[in-house]
A and B are shown apart, each in its own frame.
Chain A
């Protein structure tokens, strides 16, 4: 399918996107100089973790958002708004709850002024194609998630788009349903029964990307940019257990963790020496402890292959990577080449009792997370041992977007509470050293 002579259906060149802050000043970039192209007959995946700007990129391509700079060309024409010939499928299905299945599917055609007869004919054909026969008069609320997403597909296909954009279309579905939908879609695609020429899908599921895509673009975050491009030349239908398939998955895992080791997210823009600019993910301390215990126990005995770990723990990379990276940051584990390794401190943590664990955790937090050390020092220095959260939040906002700053604050509050470094009063929005009497 990858014909060198194939014409580019879609051309995205040098897209950058910067969001305005609430105060009106220009914030930090979300996307930085992204270029890609989409050719006839291929499925391309945008793979990245949450917050890497992949959904923003998809919306720019769909003409739903305007980039700060750069252009999107669809069939040689610059896109200046939602383009005809591009349709989108949403993670949340985005069906209108007050319209029946049939009305939802017909909406796009009716809005364009298509006659009721022609609309009905095409809608029924799309419903038939996607396997929704018999559900025409149902309301979305009555349907299961899988059926709802089928409506989402029928609604997109009925307008006969050239490009189908998909924003994590299977991530809100359970494992079995997602797999059925993927297979059905791939069948329709390879049999050429859909009018579409090309599919661009956003995903954070590595296996899904390898299963479906001809090309995978891996995005790095803060700011979002394309880190690498991987061609997948396995023939459809692909087998998840095929060694080649596994190898590719391993390779992408390694790629995605290795980069974050050499360049932890958020550190590039930091002022030298401060280290405060580290954007912390929100993770549960219970999950951190649980992951360490899992890692220490057989069959891993201190070293685990990440894809394997993700599979056996039923964790998406959006859940696993933040945990793994937080453990790495705290020096309880190390990541290398798609593997996770327990450190000596990690072993001690697993063997310790509850109080010792908290002590050890607190010590590591102070030593390796600059923000924790900063908060603790400020609290120690002040006679009142009190400090408002806004003070630190504003400091963070110099280095990262408001969202990231908020998330980092929530993360440090959670970690600090567990390590008993400081207390936080939600009502007063303030840190303190005192514990309730």
Chain B
């Protein structure tokens, strides 16, 4: 995959504004609400009634299947969310005002920080039933996919080419027809690429969510993640190895049977003037499309869906709202009322959060958390920098050699999807065995899984670097540092940024599992907001979780806006080839 794909949410405005603050307040208030509703009743949450995970090898295929099913359930939920939320945001100016800042902040809220709230919520919803725990795990994966997908879809809806839109209106397609004939197909390439990327990240979260302790409640859902958790508890190396191999097979199948076919298929939805030079291929897709009996199996379904897409539901088009010359006074007044209402509700939400956190915690607690967050921030920055220093030269070397790149590229994508948190326990046993400083050595775990995003994006960038520019550099004898500085680094920079942003986002999430790791009866703790949240989660100390998650979200948001998006905008403006 050598095409430069854009991360849906990053091309947007950079500086945080008052809407972000309001959205953050509203989201945190939502968490507080969940805790109040279910935890405040003072009833201990019933544990799920599921048999303990057994470490027999022959159980692994079944566990893997359970894990995969959770992934797909989350995927279905994410698509439903995307089609509704993003469509509402794109079609209604007033809803857009509220929905988009919320989505923007939700992206920065660490998903694993969510976990305690969602577990509480879903267990409260289905008391004593394993369904609640399942929902919580699925929801964790959902939160790792949905925001990005919704953003991508929203952006596609807003950038439907004007002439294609005019065709649909000229032929008087109804809202429903237009959605399925024009808007959804147009969004497909971006949406699927973002979906597949989020799905890669999703393995990490499904594994983390299968075995979790919130206060007195311990949840173990049958799956590869809980299998590993049990293996960590017992310190069984063989079981860990078996789980890792199982996971590798699952990811390989996912890559070959889903990721590649879907990306190759999505190619036909690209709006391009000429047939693309880069055509993604997939043997699986070729098989499906070329095998006669397979075709005859799905053709009736495709036909039925096609005619469903032509049902005449919804209004006929009239003039485009955005084209209307002047806003009427009435609509201005409604706008004003709407904005005031939104602001009042959000302020009230912020007040609720402050009050809730304030009942148990003081300003000095808040200051502590800010300090811890800065430690984690430092960790993320240093490790991304380290990963950059190590991997960029190697990836460039690989990318410039098409033969090597062809093999290395899928490997890097595979590694990015592999849930490395499976290995954290094992890694910690090494930290313990050699009596290493956890503050330093646990940090490495943060980029364990995320560095591969940098690798495969930079490989793609180097592979796509135009040949004539390479030749020009060679002709003028540009060598050494000059070559790196003036030729290749600017050339791969947009790709690097795309990879680094993904890696950075993933690292924040990883910090929650990486800064506090257990192996047998030992736990190793590094200082940072990640371990603060993880420990508070284990104790079920909700005010602390809210505080930790809120401070971390603010920090991630600021870091993204003030650093990554500025770089991204610069790369878009200056360095796009």
Which residues in A have some Cβ–Cβ distance to B below 8 Å?
A: 17-20, 24, 26, 59, 62-66, 68, 80-82, 84, 86-88, 90-92, 94, 96-98, 107-108, 110-113, 139, 141-142, 155, 159, 427
Could you count the A-B residue pairs with CB atoms below 8 Å apart for me: how many are there? 93
Contacts of B320 in A (CB 8 A): 64-65
Beyond A26-B325, A81-B172, 17 additional contacts (C-beta under 8 Å) are A18-B325, A62-B166, A62-B170, A65-B320, A68-B325, A68-B326, A81-B316, A82-B170, A82-B172, A90-B166, A92-B163, A94-B161, A94-B164, A96-B181, A110-B310, A155-B167, A159-B171
B120 at the binding interface (Cβ < 8 Å):
no
B274 at the binding interface (Cβ < 8 Å):
yes
| Segment touching A, from B62-70, B92-100, B263-271, B372-380 | B263-271
The docked-state distance in angstroms from the alpha carbon of A182 to that of B195 is 45
The answer to whether A97 touches B181 (Cβ under 8 A) is: no
- Chain B positions 175 through 214: 1 when the CB is less than 8 Å from some CB of chain A, otherwise 0: 0010001100100100000000000000000000000000
B323 at the binding interface (Cβ < 8 Å):
yes
Q: Contacts A81-B318, A81-B319, A141-B274 given: A88-B170 contact, CB under 8 Å? A: yes
The answer to whether B172 touches A66 (Cβ under 8 A) is: no
The answer to whether A97 touches B325 (Cβ under 8 A) is: no
The docked-state distance in angstroms from the alpha carbon of A185 to that of B553 is 62
The answer to whether A94 touches B171 (Cβ under 8 A) is: no
Q: For residue B324, which residue of chain A has the nearest CB?
A: A66
In the complex, how many angstroms separate the beta carbon of A81 from the nearest chain B beta carbon? 4
In the complex, how many angstroms separate the beta carbon of B260 from the nearest chain A beta carbon? 19
The docked-state distance in angstroms from the alpha carbon of A80 to that of B172 is 12
The docked-state distance in angstroms from the alpha carbon of A113 to that of B327 is 35
The answer to whether B169 touches A98 (Cβ under 8 A) is: no
- 6 A-B pairs (CB sep. < 8 Å): A18-B325, A64-B166, A64-B320, A68-B325, A98-B268, A141-B275
Q: For residue B327, which residue of chain A has the nearest CB?
A: A24
The docked-state distance in angstroms from the alpha carbon of A92 to that of B166 is 12
Listed from nearest, the 9 A-B pairs whose CB atoms lie closest are: A94-B163, A108-B171, A66-B319, A81-B318, A98-B185, A68-B325, A98-B269, A141-B275, A111-B173
In the complex, how many angstroms separate the beta carbon of A137 from the nearest chain B beta carbon? 13
The answer to whether A64 touches B169 (Cβ under 8 A) is: yes
Q: Contacts A98-B268, A107-B181, A110-B310 given: A87-B170 contact, CB under 8 Å? A: yes
Q: Contacts A96-B185, A111-B177 given: A59-B166 contact, CB under 8 Å? A: yes
B272 at the binding interface (Cβ < 8 Å):
yes
Contacts of A82 in B (CB 8 A): 169-172, 317
In the complex, how many angstroms separate the beta carbon of A14 from the nearest chain B beta carbon? 15
Contacts of B271 in A (CB 8 A): 97
B485 at the binding interface (Cβ < 8 Å):
no
The answer to whether B181 touches A65 (Cβ under 8 A) is: no
The answer to whether A97 touches B272 (Cβ under 8 A) is: yes
Contacts of B170 in A (CB 8 A): 62, 64, 82, 86-88
Total interface residues on B, CB under 8 Å, equals: 37
Contacts of A110 in B (CB 8 A): 310
B13 at the binding interface (Cβ < 8 Å):
no
B158 at the binding interface (Cβ < 8 Å):
no
B312 at the binding interface (Cβ < 8 Å):
yes
Q: Contacts A68-B325, A96-B181, A141-B275 given: A80-B318 contact, CB under 8 Å? A: yes
Contacts of A24 in B (CB 8 A): 327
In the complex, how many angstroms separate the beta carbon of A256 from the nearest chain B beta carbon? 27
Q: Contacts A65-B319, A81-B318, A90-B167 given: A111-B181 contact, CB under 8 Å? A: yes
The answer to whether A111 touches B268 (Cβ under 8 A) is: no
The docked-state distance in angstroms from the alpha carbon of A342 to that of B268 is 53
Q: Contacts A66-B325, A98-B185 given: A84-B318 contact, CB under 8 Å? A: no
The answer to whether A111 touches B270 (Cβ under 8 A) is: no
Q: For residue A161, which residue of chain B has the nearest CB?
A: B170
Contacts of B272 in A (CB 8 A): 97, 141
Q: For residue A84, which residue of chain B has the nearest CB?
A: B172
Which residues in B have some Cβ–Cβ distance to A below 8 Å?
A: 161, 163-164, 166-167, 169-174, 177, 181-182, 185, 188, 268-272, 274-276, 310, 312, 316-320, 323-327, 574
The answer to whether B326 touches A20 (Cβ under 8 A) is: yes
Q: For residue A91, which residue of chain B has the nearest CB?
A: B163
**Max chain A CB contacts within 10 Å: which of B269, B310, B312, B325?**
B325
The answer to whether B323 touches A94 (Cβ under 8 A) is: no
Contacts of B163 in A (CB 8 A): 90-92, 94
Contacts of A87 in B (CB 8 A): 170
In the complex, how many angstroms separate the beta carbon of A82 from the nearest chain B beta carbon? 5
CB contact between B312 and one of A20, A96, A113 (< 8 Å): that residue: A113
The docked-state distance in angstroms from the alpha carbon of A86 to that of B166 is 13
In the complex, how many angstroms separate the beta carbon of B329 from the nearest chain A beta carbon? 13
The answer to whether A139 touches B268 (Cβ under 8 A) is: yes
Q: For residue A113, which residue of chain B has the nearest CB?
A: B312
Contacts of B275 in A (CB 8 A): 141-142
Q: For residue A142, which residue of chain B has the nearest CB?
A: B275
In the complex, how many angstroms separate the beta carbon of B493 from the nearest chain A beta carbon? 15
In the complex, how many angstroms separate the beta carbon of B193 from the nearest chain A beta carbon? 16
**Max chain A CB contacts within 10 Å: which of B163, B171, B181, B319?**
B171
Q: For residue B185, which residue of chain A has the nearest CB?
A: A98
Contacts of B318 in A (CB 8 A): 80-81
Q: Contacts A59-B166, A94-B166 given: A26-B326 contact, CB under 8 Å? A: yes
Contacts of A63 in B (CB 8 A): 319
In the complex, how many angstroms separate the beta carbon of A351 from the nearest chain B beta carbon? 35
In the complex, how many angstroms separate the beta carbon of B170 from the nearest chain A beta carbon? 5
**Max chain B CB contacts within 10 Å: which of A86, A98, A142, A427?**
A98
In the complex, how many angstroms separate the beta carbon of A149 from the nearest chain B beta carbon? 13
Contacts of A139 in B (CB 8 A): 268
Contacts of A108 in B (CB 8 A): 171
In the complex, how many angstroms separate the beta carbon of A169 from the nearest chain B beta carbon? 12
The docked-state distance in angstroms from the alpha carbon of A148 to that of B268 is 16
Contacts of B317 in A (CB 8 A): 81-82
In the complex, how many angstroms separate the beta carbon of A357 from the nearest chain B beta carbon? 28
Contacts of B276 in A (CB 8 A): 141
Q: For residue A59, which residue of chain B has the nearest CB?
A: B166
The docked-state distance in angstroms from the alpha carbon of A113 to that of B319 is 22
In the complex, how many angstroms separate the beta carbon of A385 from the nearest chain B beta carbon? 25
CB contact between B323 and one of A66, A96, A98, A107 (< 8 Å): that residue: A66
The docked-state distance in angstroms from the alpha carbon of A97 to that of B268 is 7
In the complex, how many angstroms separate the beta carbon of A425 from the nearest chain B beta carbon? 13
**Max chain A CB contacts within 10 Å: which of B170, B274, B316, B325?**
B170
The docked-state distance in angstroms from the alpha carbon of A97 to that of B274 is 11
The answer to whether B269 touches A97 (Cβ under 8 A) is: yes
Contacts of B167 in A (CB 8 A): 88, 90, 94, 96, 155
In the complex, how many angstroms separate the beta carbon of A198 from the nearest chain B beta carbon? 17
The docked-state distance in angstroms from the alpha carbon of A258 to that of B316 is 46
Q: Contacts A96-B185, A98-B269 given: A111-B171 contact, CB under 8 Å? A: yes
Q: For residue B188, which residue of chain A has the nearest CB?
A: A98
The answer to whether A96 touches B164 (Cβ under 8 A) is: yes
CB contact between A88 and one of B166, B173, B270 (< 8 Å): that residue: B166
The docked-state distance in angstroms from the alpha carbon of A68 to that of B323 is 10
Contacts of B274 in A (CB 8 A): 141
The docked-state distance in angstroms from the alpha carbon of A139 to that of B273 is 12
Contacts of A96 in B (CB 8 A): 164, 167, 181-182, 185
Q: For residue A427, which residue of chain B has the nearest CB?
A: B574
Contacts of B324 in A (CB 8 A): 66
In the complex, how many angstroms separate the beta carbon of B573 from the nearest chain A beta carbon? 9
The answer to whether A20 touches B268 (Cβ under 8 A) is: no
Contacts of A64 in B (CB 8 A): 166, 169-170, 319-320
In the complex, how many angstroms separate the beta carbon of B311 from the nearest chain A beta carbon? 9
Q: Contacts A20-B325, A81-B319, A141-B275 given: A111-B172 contact, CB under 8 Å? A: yes
The docked-state distance in angstroms from the alpha carbon of A82 to that of B319 is 8
In the complex, how many angstroms separate the beta carbon of A213 from the nearest chain B beta carbon? 22
In the complex, how many angstroms separate the beta carbon of B59 from the nearest chain A beta carbon? 44
Contacts of B268 in A (CB 8 A): 97-98, 139
The docked-state distance in angstroms from the alpha carbon of A116 to that of B188 is 26
Contacts of A94 in B (CB 8 A): 161, 163-164, 166-167
Contacts of A427 in B (CB 8 A): 574
